[in-house]
């Protein structure tokens, strides 16, 4: 089996000047777990140019969805941003990644912490009924500079709770908590600060974070992950893997 497949772009949505998402066809043989990523890209001068992208669509969706920034002069994203329905795109035949439910020990609350395009894997996870089977509360935190950067805001705040199939679970268990750092908004501040000073737990009506009840998935910049890790470890939590599940898992948000 070839490591890459040709898929067809079905739709493209530009959220801001710097942020867009697109949906593609999905080979029936392509399997992934919520939270995983795959390689995607374009053939340029006959050679595939590929980058890792978290899959934002649900594992049961007929299409695949990806969220991307437009890196100025970025080799791949400067081309991807011009994608249009009908265009071909390369998609890896395999998915991988660390943001897996099976790498977490059982708990009560699942915190999904993402900055920027680090939201993408969580868009898949919050559409997975298994998440709601395993946890009583799912807190999706999306940290951005400005309000306009909050991609999927109305989908998460309005459409998902009204979803015919997932709506009941989502209304009961999902808390969507967007937070903004560079302009006024109802929730303000970096995720790290909101964890460190207890604001996040307090705002969502949960006790201070602790090893017994709380599980975390993190997706953001290298620095964001480096800053969050000691906060979680300081609360007694340890990183998990499929062979040794723990209280948190970590994935770098991918950029060029
Ligand atoms: P800030 O505005 O204070 O830099 P970016 O657009 O650079 O990817 O950032 C997305 C969001 O992540 C912004 O709100 C930014 O806050 C925040 N952020 C950047 N670095 C960190 C970090 N080390 N820890 C937590 N949040 C961060």
**Ordered structural domains, the chain, with CATH:** 4-92 (2.40.30.10), 101-250 (3.40.50.80)
Tens digit of each residue's pLDDT (9 = 90 or more) over 195-239: 999 999 999 999 999 999 999 999 999 999 999 999 999 999 999
Would the pTM count as exceeding 0.85? yes
Name the pLDDT band for 1 (thresholds 50, 70, 90): very low
Q: Using alpha carbons only, give the angle 2, 33, 5 rounded to the nearest 5 degrees.
A: 20
Tens digit of each residue's pLDDT (9 = 90 or more) over 165-189: 999 999 999 999 999 999 999 999 9
Task: Work out which ligand 1 atom sits closest to the CA atom of 182.
Answer: 2
d(C-alpha 32, C-alpha 198), whole Å? 35
d(C-alpha 113, C-alpha 198), whole Å? 15
Average pLDDT of span 134-145? 98
- Best mutation site among 145, 197, 225, 252 for ligand 1 pocket (most ligand atoms within 8 Å of CB): 145
Q: Which pLDDT does position 137 carry in this prediction?
A: 98
Looking at every residue in the chain, the average pLDDT score rounds to 96
Tens digit of each residue's pLDDT (9 = 90 or more) over 18-57: 999 999 999 999 999 999 999 999 999 999 999 999 999 9
DSSP 161: G
Task: Work out which ligand 1 atom sits closest to the CA atom of 117.
Answer: 8
Name the pLDDT band for 256 (thresholds 50, 70, 90): low
For 144-165, b/e burial (b = at least 16 CB within 10 A) is: beeeebbbbbeebeeebbeeee
């Amino acid at each position: 089996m070839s490591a890459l497949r040709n898929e067809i772009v079905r739709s493209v949505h530009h959220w801001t000047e710097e942020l867009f998402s697109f949906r593609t066809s999905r080979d029936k043989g392509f399997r992934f777990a919520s939270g995983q990523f795959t390689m995607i890209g374009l053939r340029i001068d006959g050679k595939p140019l590929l980058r890792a992208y978290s899959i934002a669509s649900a594992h049961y969706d007929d299409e695949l969805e990806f969220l991307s920034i437009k890196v100025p002069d970025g080799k791949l994203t400067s081309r991807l941003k011009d994608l249009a329905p009908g265009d071909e795109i390369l998609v890896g035949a395999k998915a991988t990644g660390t943001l897996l439910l099976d790498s977490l020990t059982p708990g009560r609350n699942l915190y999904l912490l993402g900055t920027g395009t680090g939201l993408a894997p969580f868009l898949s996870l919050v559409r997975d009924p298994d998440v709601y089977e395993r946890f009583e509360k799912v807190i999706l935190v999306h940290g951005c500079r400005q309000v306009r950067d909050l991609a999927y805001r109305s989908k998460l705040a309005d459409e998902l709770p009204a979803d015919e199939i997932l709506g009941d679970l989502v209304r009961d268990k999902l808390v969507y908590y967007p937070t903004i750092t560079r302009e006024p908004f109802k929730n303000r501040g970096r995720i790290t600060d909101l964890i460190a000073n207890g604001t996040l737990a307090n705002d969502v009506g949960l006790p201070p974070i602790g090893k017994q009840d709380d599980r975390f998935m993190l997706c953001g910049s290298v620095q964001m992950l480096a800053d969050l890790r000691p906060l979680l470890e300081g609360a007694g939590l340890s990183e998990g893997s499929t062979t040794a599940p723990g209280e948190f898992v970590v994935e770098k948000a991918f950029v060029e």
